[in-house]
Homo-oligomer: A and B are copies of this chain.
Amino acid sequence: METKLRFGMVGGGNGGNIGNSHRRGALMDSLAVLTAGSFTRDGERNRRDGERWGVPADRIYSDYAAMAEEEGRRPDGIDFVSIVTPNASHYPVAKCFLAHGINVVCEKPFTLSVPEAEELRRLAAEKNLEICVTYTYAHYPIMRECRHLVESGRIGRIIDIVAEYPQDWMILGLSKDADNFTKWIGDPATSGNSNVTAAMGVNLNYLITAMTGLELESVLAHFGYYPEDAPLETTARIFLRYKGGAGGLAWTSNVAIGHDCTIDLKLYGDKGSIRWSHEDPTRLTVSYLGGPVEILAANRDYLDEWSREASRLPAGHPEGFYEAFANIYREFCRHLLDKKNGAAGQSGDYFYPKARDGVDGVRFVHACVRSQQTGNAWTNVADG
């Protein structure tokens, strides 16, 4: 029985935050070994990073295409690749690895356009490969309890959703170097047709989907711009309509001074409600009609067993962003290992963001942009 996978990375050199999160997340549970990589275009650094992380010299590649080809050919080639390159290159890199039969983990946003996203999804399906898109925030351990409570009907039918994600990094950056910053924000080669909706709004969209299972039907978006002549939106206010009738609201901004990385999710059902804040990521606030507010903490005995399985430490010992990342990788690796061992699906579903979630995210962004462009009209996400 296989118990360990080999993986490679494209990007992630020089100790950037995202690369570190992927590498540490993938390694945390000893289910995968970093075996190959093309970490950066700077050859010397590429070699040094690979060496530091224990990658054999002959599997440090100067080029992702060469890596995909060689690793796809070797009998002991990598099982999956983690793509942490700039957004615009997600599509070609992912396509290349899929073409060589290698599973893919990809940073969000999945791609810049819907057809690209659809194509990758189709390609993976044809080749029986798996794609994971790393929306992180739904994968803190306690979030499983949120999903469990919704699924089990404890809060009843969902009637209202409020999701918010303010940060201030953009206005902080602007205050330091407005010219460069604004140009960078406005460069479609870097950011596509959306700034904050693509970078942050997609996280809200996935968070809601992952917690509720609801299917988004249409959006009505009202964008804000700072500075006023910013080429792309810095604030997005979005009305949401779900199949089955639930309505909702999303707000995200990267010019909201005072917010490090606040994410608030509020789900209102007709029997109860659930609230979660990224400022206190290990706890869940739950209310049932007529009862007191309850605060649930990760890994306490009173949680569902499936929820507790996501924790690595006893209650009260905080698990953070890396552990949320590791939860995604653990489920993805479990999926690949089960497939290798001919046991896929026997242990139920795998809880990680899949190709479909990547596609949905791109659709969501495009629908919001179109709504804004058409005078804030309701826009079907299927047309996104």
Contact = CB atoms under 8 A, between A and B. Distances in A.
A293 B296 CA distance: 7
Interface in A303-337: 312-323
A287 interface: yes
A27 B168 CA distance: 32
- Most chain B CB neighbours (cut-off 10 Å) among A222, A293, A295, A300: A293
A82 interface: no
Interface stretch (A5-13, A70-78, A83-91, A273-281): A273-281
Contacts of A289: 168, 171-172, 175, 257
B224 A314 contact: no
A344 interface: no
Interface string A244-276: 010101010101111111100010111111010
Given A260-B315, A273-B256, A292-B294, A226 B159 contact: yes
Contact of A258 (B4, B275, B378): B275
A314 B16 CA distance: 10
Interface stretch (A17-25, A98-106, A349-357, A361-369): A17-25
A111 interface: no
Interface in A134-179: 155, 159-160, 162, 164, 166-169, 171-172, 175
Interface in A233-251: 235, 237, 239, 245, 247, 249, 251
